A and B are shown apart, each in its own frame.
Chain A
Amino acid sequence: MASATLSTPAKAGIRAPAVPAWVWALPPVALLALVFLYPLALVVQQSFQPDTGGTSIRPYADVFASEAFREALWTTVWLALASTAGCLVLGFVLALVIAFVPFPGARAVSRFVDVFLSFPSFLITLALLFIYGTVGMANGLWTDVTGAAEGPFRFLTTPWGVLLAEITYFTPFVMRPLLAAFSQLDTAQLEAASSLGARAPRIVRQVILPEALPALASGGSLVLVLCLNEFGIVLFTGAKDVTTLPMLVYGKAILESDYPGACVVAVVNVLISVGLYGLYRVVSRRAGA
Chain B
Amino acid sequence: MGIRFDAVTVAYDGNVVLDALDLTVAPGEVMALLGPSGSGKTTALRAVAGFVRPASGRVFLGDRDVTDLPPHRRGIGMVVQQYALFPHLRVEDNVAFGLKARKVPKAEIRTRVAEALEMTGMGAYARRHPRELSGGQQQRVAIARALAIRPGVLLLDEPLSALDAQLRSGMLAELARLHRELPDVSILYVTHDQMEALTLADRIAVMDKARLQACGTPRELYRAPANAFTASFVGNANLLPVTVGASGAALGTAELKIDTSGAAPGASATLCVRPHLVGLGDGPNRLTGTVTEIQWRGATHRLYVDVDGHRVMADLPELRTPPAHGESVTLHFASEDAVLLPAGVGDHG
A115: min CB distance to chain B, Å: 29
Q: Within the complex, which residue of B73, B75, B76, B97 is in contact with A193, where a contact is CB–CB below 8 Å?
A: B97
Q: State whether A192 touches B80 (Cβ < 8 A).
A: yes
| Residues in A neighbouring B51, C-beta threshold 8 A | 191
The verdict on B246 contacting chain A, using a C-beta distance below 8 Å, is no
| Residues in A neighbouring B145, C-beta threshold 8 A | 192, 196
Instruction: Please name the residue on chain A nearest to B96 by beta carbon.
Output: A196
B51, B85, B101, most chain A CB atoms within 10 A: B101
Q: Within the complex, which residue of A188, A198, A199 is in contact with B84, where a contact is CB–CB below 8 Å?
A: A188
How far, in whole Å, are A211 and B51 apart by their CA atoms in the complex? 22
| Residues in A neighbouring B75, C-beta threshold 8 A | 197
The verdict on B82 contacting chain A, using a C-beta distance below 8 Å, is yes
How many A residues are at the interface, by size bracket?
A: 10 to 19
| Residues in B neighbouring A198, C-beta threshold 8 A | 72, 97-98, 101
| Residues in B neighbouring A210, C-beta threshold 8 A | 86, 88-89
| Residues in A neighbouring B73, C-beta threshold 8 A | 197
The verdict on A202 contacting chain B, using a C-beta distance below 8 Å, is yes
Q: State whether B72 touches A191 (Cβ < 8 A).
A: no
The verdict on B183 contacting chain A, using a C-beta distance below 8 Å, is no
| Residues in A neighbouring B82, C-beta threshold 8 A | 186, 188
How far, in whole Å, are A196 and B145 apart by their CA atoms in the complex? 8
The verdict on B102 contacting chain A, using a C-beta distance below 8 Å, is yes
The verdict on A189 contacting chain B, using a C-beta distance below 8 Å, is yes
Contact with B along A180-223 (1 / 0, CB 8 A): 00000010110111111111001000110011000000000000
How far, in whole Å, are A64 and B146 apart by their CA atoms in the complex? 62
| Residues in B neighbouring A194, C-beta threshold 8 A | 50, 70-72
| Residues in B neighbouring A195, C-beta threshold 8 A | 49-50, 71-72, 74, 76-78, 155
| Residues in A neighbouring B89, C-beta threshold 8 A | 206, 210
The verdict on B344 contacting chain A, using a C-beta distance below 8 Å, is no
The verdict on B87 contacting chain A, using a C-beta distance below 8 Å, is yes
Contact with B along A240-257 (1 / 0, CB 8 A): 000000000000000000
Main SS at interface, chain A: helix
| Residues in A neighbouring B77, C-beta threshold 8 A | 195
A285: min CB distance to chain B, Å: 17
A186, A191, A196, most chain B CB atoms within 10 A: A196
Q: State whether A206 touches B84 (Cβ < 8 A).
A: no
Q: State whether A211 touches B88 (Cβ < 8 A).
A: yes
How far, in whole Å, are A15 and B84 apart by their CA atoms in the complex? 48
Q: State whether A202 touches B101 (Cβ < 8 A).
A: yes
Q: Given contacts A207-B86, A210-B88, A211-B88, is CB(A197)–CB(B101) below 8 Å?
A: yes
How far, in whole Å, are A211 and B86 apart by their CA atoms in the complex? 9
Q: State whether B97 touches A191 (Cβ < 8 A).
A: no
Q: State whether B84 touches A196 (Cβ < 8 A).
A: no
Q: State whether B49 touches A196 (Cβ < 8 A).
A: no
| Residues in A neighbouring B101, C-beta threshold 8 A | 193, 196-199, 202
The verdict on B21 contacting chain A, using a C-beta distance below 8 Å, is no
Q: State whether A191 touches B87 (Cβ < 8 A).
A: no
| Residues in A neighbouring B149, C-beta threshold 8 A | 196-197
Q: State whether B71 touches A206 (Cβ < 8 A).
A: no
Instruction: Please name the residue on chain B nearest to A198 by beta carbon.
Output: B101
Q: State whether B88 touches A192 (Cβ < 8 A).
A: no
B:43-92 near A, CB below 8 Å: 49-51, 70-78, 80, 82, 84-89
How far, in whole Å, are A135 and B280 apart by their CA atoms in the complex? 99
How far, in whole Å, are A202 and B103 apart by their CA atoms in the complex? 12
Instruction: Please name the residue on chain B nearest to A209 by beta carbon.
Output: B88
B225: min CB distance to chain A, Å: 34
Instruction: Please name the residue on chain A nearest to B151 by beta carbon.
Output: A195
| Residues in B neighbouring A206, C-beta threshold 8 A | 86, 89, 97
Contact with B along A114-136 (1 / 0, CB 8 A): 00000000000000000000000
| Residues in A neighbouring B49, C-beta threshold 8 A | 191, 195
| Residues in B neighbouring A202, C-beta threshold 8 A | 101
> Interface of A with B (CB < 8 Å)?
186, 188-189, 191-199, 202, 206-207, 210-211
What 3 A-B pairs are tightest by C-beta distance, nearest first? A196-B98, A188-B84, A197-B101
A-B contact pairs, 10 of them (CB 8 A): A192-B78, A192-B84, A192-B85, A192-B145, A194-B72, A195-B71, A196-B145, A197-B102, A198-B97, A199-B101
New A-B pairs, 18, CB < 8 Å, besides A191-B71, A192-B142:
A186-B84, A191-B78, A191-B84, A192-B78, A192-B80, A193-B86, A195-B74, A195-B77, A196-B97, A196-B101, A197-B72, A197-B98, A197-B102, A198-B72, A198-B97, A198-B101, A199-B72, A210-B86
